[in-house]
Amino acid sequence: MTSRMLEMTWQKFGEKMRNGAVVILPLGSTEAHGLHLPLGVDVITSTGFAELLAGEINGVMAPPLVYGYKGETGGGPIYTGSIELNAVTLINLVHDVLEELVADGAKKIFIMNGHYENEMFLLEAMDLITRKYPDVKIVESAWWDQVDDELIEQIFDEVPFPGWTVEHAAIAETSLTMYFRPDLVHMDRFVEEEQIRVLNYHVSPLKREIYPSRGAPSTSRSASRKKGELMVGKIMQGFLKVVKEEFR
């Protein structure tokens, strides 16, 4: 039984809405992720988790949004292939999709984010919708929100955890992509570069000189499919707890 909305008939979807199913909306980005990972990492991971979650809770996975907000850590605008939306566009897009889901009877919506910089714009769209439809509840989370200290230690067993802001195309994302789409990971192309210098401020235009030439701001050397599997297991537990808390 598919949980992908795009593969359902409208009748099947309507039935699920009448039964109070949770709709899970994955969002990613199209963004450079080093030389060893594809542009779609954030789509692959968010869609991967969304589908797993929908399967677990008999929910529906709405079609994914594959373009996201401008990446900063990943250095989006610096590398070709990063296709990034303006803030207003992203807010309106998520707003409209949410409003239509609500119009179709969805009362429980879970936004599965796969790209950090999307977050605040998702919150804005959520707020605009729940002001209009106060009986709807919308949750937003991302896989990294569900990673606890214990898991961090397990993932970063060889190198110290550099903080989430530079964990772009690095051990965690690489391991997850190895789990969901191993065919798209090319560790042979990975070259260790100096880790990006983390600024304690933001600056525009982005400082090209601090971004690595290959697009991976920190090492992914010790990534593995096994770590990916471990992560997926623990993260899914986290998501299920959120769902239980908010949508029981």
* AA letter at 152: I
24 within 8 A of 106, measured Cβ to Cβ: no
State which of residues 52, 54, 66, 223 lies at the interface with a copy of itself (CB under 8 A). 66
State which of residues 140, 166, 168, 217 lies at the interface with a copy of itself (CB under 8 A). 140
Q: Is residue 121 at the binding interface for a copy of itself, with CB under 8 A as the rule?
A: yes
Closest among 37, 35, 56 to 45, alpha carbons compared: 37
31 is catalytic: yes
Q: Is residue 58 at the binding interface for a copy of itself, with CB under 8 A as the rule?
A: no
What is the CB-side half-sphere exposure of residue 8 using CA atoms within 13 A?
Answer: 18
**What does DSSP say about strands 68-69 and 60-61: parallel, antiparallel, or unpaired?**
unpaired
The interface mask with a copy of itself, positions 219-248, x = CB under 8 A, is -------------------x---x---x--
The catalytic position among 51, 140, 167, 173 is 173
**Structural element, H or E, at residue 129:** helix 119-132
Number of residues that bind a copy of itself (CB under 8 A): 89
The catalytic position among 51, 117, 119, 140 is 117
115 is catalytic: yes
What 3-state class would DSSP assign to 54? Answer: helix
Contacts with a copy of itself in 1-40 (CB under 8 A)? 4-11, 13-14, 17, 30, 32-40
Least separation in angstroms between residue 152's CB and a copy of itself is 13
Q: 198 Cβ partners below 8 Å, 6+ apart?
A: 163, 165, 166
Which residue reads 């009986």 in tokens? 135
State which of residues 63, 163, 182, 233 lies at the interface with a copy of itself (CB under 8 A). 63
Which residue reads 């950090």 in tokens? 116
Closest among 32, 43, 111, 45 to 71, alpha carbons compared: 32
Alpha-carbon distance of 214 to 185, in angstroms, equals 15
Least separation in angstroms between residue 224's CB and a copy of itself is 20
The interface mask with a copy of itself, positions 202-221, x = CB under 8 A, is xxxx--------xx------
Nearer to a copy of itself by Cβ, of 138 and 171: the residue is: 138
Active site residues: 31, 33, 42, 115, 117, 168, 173
